[in-house]
Structure 1
Amino acid sequence: MNHFTVIAEDPQKTLDFYVGLLGLKQGHRPDLGFDGAWLYGEAPQAILHLYFDRPTPAQRAGVIDHMAFTSKDLKSVKARLDASGIRYDLRQQAGAGTWQLFCHDPNGAKVELDFPSAETP
């Protein structure tokens, strides 16, 4: 997988969610002739592209159900989501024990955050 792209209805709320709450970093984006942002995790390649210049579709999720990110520091992420009033569903995967936290970004995209089984909520 190279990256996902999200059409952002509200650019600032979208950046606040992915950068402020989830910890991605806004980085280099070439001049593509339209407004947007590229967000990075720990890898040198952008993993999430944001469009700021397009109308959001009526069917928000389309055929993609969700995007998932490998994450760390479950307690801290939960605290930030709680403080921001963002609802989420936390469950522990049977077998592997991976903690899976599901929520929605400000545009309606479903996001899964996967934490190691050794972490505690």
Structure 2
Amino acid sequence: MAVQGVDHINICTADLDQCKAFYCGILGLEEGWRPPFGSPGAWLYGGGSPLVHVSLTDEARNGESAVDHIAFAVKGYDEMRGKFDALGMEVDAYDVPDTPAKQLFVTDPDGVSVELNFSDGT
């Protein structure tokens, strides 16, 4: 057996619409096909793959787990930074030393820290 890569992440939320609004409306993922599991949720796609699975829970968990953050490889630094600023979202921005890369860190509605990596700085 050999690990091939990360298949998906799962976010537990008490507000499915708010969670989808963040990942789709702000980050640009798209809601797509999801097997009929019998419980509410959504699969959010990027690059043709269901990267974020969202599960509806009775109570908000507020990002509390052993996982520190999730990260996405993205393009469009200025556009994304402008979107966060227009929404009044708190953003931590970093230049990665000795590389052209830039990073933005935001928090999703469920308290999960989200890192956006712009490998070429754009």
TM-score (norm 1): 0.89
SS at match of 1:112: strand
For residue 78 of structure 1, report the CA deviation from its aligned partner. 1.0
| Residues paired across the two proteins, number | 117
- Measure how far apart 1:84 and its partner are: 1.3
3-state SS in 2 of match to 1:100: strand
Alpha-carbon contact 2:63-2:113 (below 8 Å) kept: no
* Native 8 Å contact 2:14 2:60 kept in 1: yes
8 Å CA contact retained: 1:38, 1:49: yes
Runs of 4+ residues over 4 Å off in structure 1: none
Match of 2:3 in 1: none
**Amino acid in the other structure paired with 1:18:** Y
Q: Give the partner amino acid of 1:77.
A: M
Query: Are 1:73 and 2:68 counterparts?
Result: no
Question: What amino acid is the match of 1:65?
Answer: D
Report what 1:99 is aligned to: 102
Q: Is the 8 A contact 2:43 2:53 kept in 1?
A: yes
Q: Which residue of structure 2 lines up, in the alignment, with residue 6 of structure 1?
A: 11
RMSD: 1.4
Match of 2:119 in 1: 116
Separation in 2 of the partners of 1:118 and 1:81? 17
Task: Output the CA distance in 2 between the equivalents of 1:45 and 1:16.
Answer: 18
SS at match of 1:82: helix
Query: How far off its partner does 1:118 sit?
Result: 4.0
Equivalent residue runs for 1:17-36 within 5 Å: 17-36=22-41
> What is the SS of the residue equivalent to 1:69?
strand
- Could you tell me the percent identity over the aligned residues? 32
* Pairing partner for 1:89 from 75, 89, 92: 92
Corresponding residue of 2:51: 47
Q: Distance in 1 between matches of 2:31 and 2:116?
A: 19
